Amino acid sequence: MEDRANVVDMEERQDAMTGNVDRDEAPLPDAVSVSEAAILLAKLKEKVASGAQRPQLLTLSLDQITLMPALFQPRAMDERHISELVRAIKAVGSLDPITVMQAGEEAVLVDGHHRVEAYKRAKQVAGIPVRYFVGTPQEAVLESGEANSKAKLPMITRERMNFAWRLVVMKAYSKEQIATAAGVSTSQVATMRKVLNKLGGGAVAHRSWLLARRAAEGENVEMSDDERDEWKREQADRWADRLVREFGNKLSSNPEITAMALATYFGRRLPAILGELRGFVDEFMESDDEADF
């Protein structure tokens, strides 16, 4: 026990020296001082008071949206949340409207930083739905805090599939409506409708999509490529959650130590893991390149 206590104490001292703190205590990216935030607010008030206006369009392109994260983004960016939003964009085309404030000729982002980042990574640079905040810049800052304080977690794959299945069984919505509401593809909805037809009146007895599909096709039914990809993603998200609970932001804050730990863990399987990781690295690099438009 004493050895373990010494190890924990050493880790805490290392965390203090390296700035490695839990995610809840981590500073916001590109954070600025309180005084600088006050200066940004003053500048925003000047723009609003200038009287200059431009038409309030229902959709904007990324280059028409002004970001002030130091003023309007009170929480750190969540990579998993962004990844979920990117998948939703690719499945249904767009997300809930972001909130912007008209400040002179600029549309300043008040709420929706994760969604904007997801649009960048999904390479959708135009047609972004917006709603306009009505109020003062001071009230807009409060609005952004209230919006971010709400625990808005995206549905995981299983929840989206089950919700889509429930809507299909109700027979009250179009394929496009179901896809948009549940965040799944229209082809997935079409597959669910085939299962519904096969099960007939017995479909209502199956509360989950997986149980319904097994009932229609048999216990040993093989997953489609889309379903297998969704299953892999769900498993990866679950494992990622476990890593966050165990390590906080220690893995991302100490890449060298993380690499050493992974090399020890994977051993001879390390080359295979690196091969898989390269695809994700390339994807992130491409997203960064697209962001520099």
Q: Which residues contact 197 (CB under 8 A, 6 or more apart)?
A: none
Same domain, 43 and 63: yes
What is the CA 27 to chain-centroid distance, rounded? 19
Determine the pLDDT at residue 29. 37
Determine the pLDDT at residue 152. 56
Residue 16 placed within a domain: no
Residue 264 placed within a domain: yes
Q: Which residues contact 166 (CB under 8 A, 6 or more apart)?
A: none
Based on the structure, what is the number of domains in the chain?
3
Coil/strand/helix, residue 29: coil
Residue 73 placed within a domain: yes
Domain CATH for 69: 3.90.1530.10
Same domain, 102 and 123: yes
Q: Kindly report, residue by residue over 239-280, the tens digit of the pLDDT.
A: 887 887 788 778 888 889 999 999 999 898 888 888 888 877
Same domain, 41 and 134: yes
Same domain, 106 and 163: no
Same domain, 161 and 76: no
Residue 108 placed within a domain: yes
How buried is residue 179: exposed, middle or buried, by Cβ count under 10 Å (0-12/13-18/19+)?
A: buried
The confidence band for 3, taking pLDDT boundaries of 50, 70 and 90, is: very low
Determine the pLDDT at residue 279. 77
Report the C-alpha gap between 202 and 198 in whole angstroms: 9
Same domain, 87 and 188: no
Determine the pLDDT at residue 78. 79
Residue 244 placed within a domain: no
Mean pLDDT of the chain: 77
Report the C-alpha gap between 48 and 136 in whole angstroms: 8
Determine the pLDDT at residue 33. 44
Q: Give the dihedral sign, CA 272/273/278/279.
A: positive
Q: Between residues 52 and 210, which one has the greater pLDDT?
A: 210
Residue 3 placed within a domain: no
User: Which structural domain, as residue segments, surrounds residue 270?
Assistant: 254-293
Task: Tell me which of 221, 239, 266 is where a domain ends.
Answer: 221
Residue 240 placed within a domain: no
The confidence band for 113, taking pLDDT boundaries of 50, 70 and 90, is: very high
The confidence band for 160, taking pLDDT boundaries of 50, 70 and 90, is: confident
Determine the pLDDT at residue 204. 82
Same domain, 142 and 217: no
Residue 242 placed within a domain: no
Same domain, 108 and 171: no
Same domain, 133 and 165: no
Same domain, 118 and 213: no
- Where is average pLDDT lowest: 158-162, 171-175, 241-245, 281-285? 281-285
| Cα radius of gyration (the chain) | 23
Same domain, 102 and 138: yes
Same domain, 142 and 80: yes
Task: Tell me which of 149, 178, 201 is where a domain ends.
Answer: 149
Q: Between residues 97 and 156, which one has the greater pLDDT?
A: 97
Task: Tell me which of 129, 149, 169 is where a domain ends.
Answer: 149
pTM of the model: 0.54
Mean of pLDDT values over 69-76: 76
Q: Kindly report, residue by residue over 174-205, the tens digit of the pLDDT.
A: 898 888 878 888 899 999 999 999 998 888 88
Mean of pLDDT values over 84-99: 88
Mean of pLDDT values over 154-181: 81
